Amino acid sequence: MLAVGVDIGGTKIAAGVVAEDGTLLATTRRSTDPHNPAAIEDSVVDAVEELRRDHEVGVVGVSAAGFVGKDRSTVVFAANIAWRDYPLGEILADRLGLPVVVENDANAAGWAEFRFGAGRDVDDMVMLTVGTGLGGAIVTDGQLLRGAVGAGAEVGHLRVVPNGRACGCGRDGCLERYVSGTALVRETQAALATDPARASRLIELAGKPKRVTGPMVTKAAMEGDEFAISMLTELGRWLGTGMAALSAVLDPAVYVVGGGVCEAGDLLLQPASEALDQQLFARGRRPLPTILVAELGNDAGIVGAADLARA
């Protein structure tokens, strides 16, 4: 059975027809307004109807950034879109005349990697997405972990430093304050402001410290800039620290790492692997989890939402 996967972001909607083997057969995109739920629904319906014209679709899966209830239809809360206990799946199903399943966006992407991407050969996997924040998805014994109220696998808010850096969630010391593109930029800009001579290449790319971006840090590091490499090394160490903490509870075989920062490759993943090895519980008495780069890129949310809708 063909399914449509819909990935709802803050400013755009991406949708695609997905075969049972994970193949993406057709795609389309729409712009949307995160402050207008009705406009989001209109865009989703329009995109799905376009795809249905050329494909016989049986079900729709929606990837949404927020806590999704146990009914896999209600968005309980979303930080960046105006959804509060919002029956998104029910509304879309009524308008489309098709079954609609709603999933958390990180869970959808992680499921895609588990089924068709880097984690396809294991039963226990954790995906960590290093983007603006730190997203996560957990698969244990072949099952996606959603939690009692749909708020499970929020690995970015694992507290790793008591009284640490303030987090947007209202607490402090959360892992994503140390492992994210935002953290990378913040720490790089702070270091450059006090000693700009350390990173002439970054200053050349950005013009001034406040204009440094994550891709600039990655570019400079891949060119061999020692300062940029040190920034990615620090980020990687924190990433490995988080993996070690998660391993003590979940014992995954594989960590799949996604997000834009992963373009740095081993400049990020090697220090992460070293930190995981150093801090792993029962080190030397268990295999070290494998760290892999995500394979499906921006299509993961579409593919994962579609596949989960068929389950």
pLDDT at position 158 over 80: yes
Do residue 149 and residue 91 come from a single domain?
Answer: no
Q: What is the pTM of this model?
A: 0.93
pLDDT at position 21 over 90: yes
Report, as an integer, the average pLDDT of 132-156: 92
Asked if residue 87 is part of any domain, the answer here is yes
Q: Using an 8 Å Cβ cutoff, are 123 and 172 in contact? A: no
Do residue 170 and residue 63 come from a single domain?
Answer: no
Mean pLDDT of the chain: 94
| Domain ranges, residue 215 | 121-294
Asked if residue 217 is part of any domain, the answer here is yes
Asked if residue 207 is part of any domain, the answer here is yes
Please, which pLDDT band fits residue 43 given cuts at 50, 70 and 90?
A: very high
Do residue 191 and residue 170 come from a single domain?
Answer: yes
Asked if residue 116 is part of any domain, the answer here is no
H or E element: which one contains 77?
Answer: strand 75-77
H or E element: which one contains 262?
Answer: none
Do residue 263 and residue 142 come from a single domain?
Answer: yes
Asked if residue 64 is part of any domain, the answer here is yes
Do residue 254 and residue 149 come from a single domain?
Answer: yes
pLDDT digits (tens, 9 = 90+) for 218-276: 999 999 999 999 999 999 999 999 999 999 999 999 999 999 888 899 999 999 999 99
Determine the straight-line distance between the first and last CA of the chain, rounded to whole angstroms. Answer: 11
Strands 134-140 and 125-130: antiparallel
Question: Would you state the structure tokens that stand for residue 165, as one six-digit string?
Answer: 């850096």
Asked if residue 180 is part of any domain, the answer here is yes
Do residue 76 and residue 189 come from a single domain?
Answer: no
- Residue 282: what pLDDT? 85
Give the total number of structural domains in the chain.
Answer: 2
Nearest-CA neighbor of 113 among 293, 291, 270?
A: 293
Do residue 14 and residue 149 come from a single domain?
Answer: no
Do residue 286 and residue 304 come from a single domain?
Answer: no
Q: Using an 8 Å Cβ cutoff, are 308 and 62 in contact? A: no
pLDDT at position 132 over 80: yes
Do residue 133 and residue 240 come from a single domain?
Answer: yes
Do residue 257 and residue 204 come from a single domain?
Answer: yes
- Residue 199: what pLDDT? 79
Rounded Cα distance between 155 and 175, Å, is 7
Do residue 154 and residue 269 come from a single domain?
Answer: yes
Do residue 73 and residue 126 come from a single domain?
Answer: no
Q: Using an 8 Å Cβ cutoff, are 13 and 6 in contact? A: yes
- Residue 11: what pLDDT? 83
Place of tokens 């406009």: 39
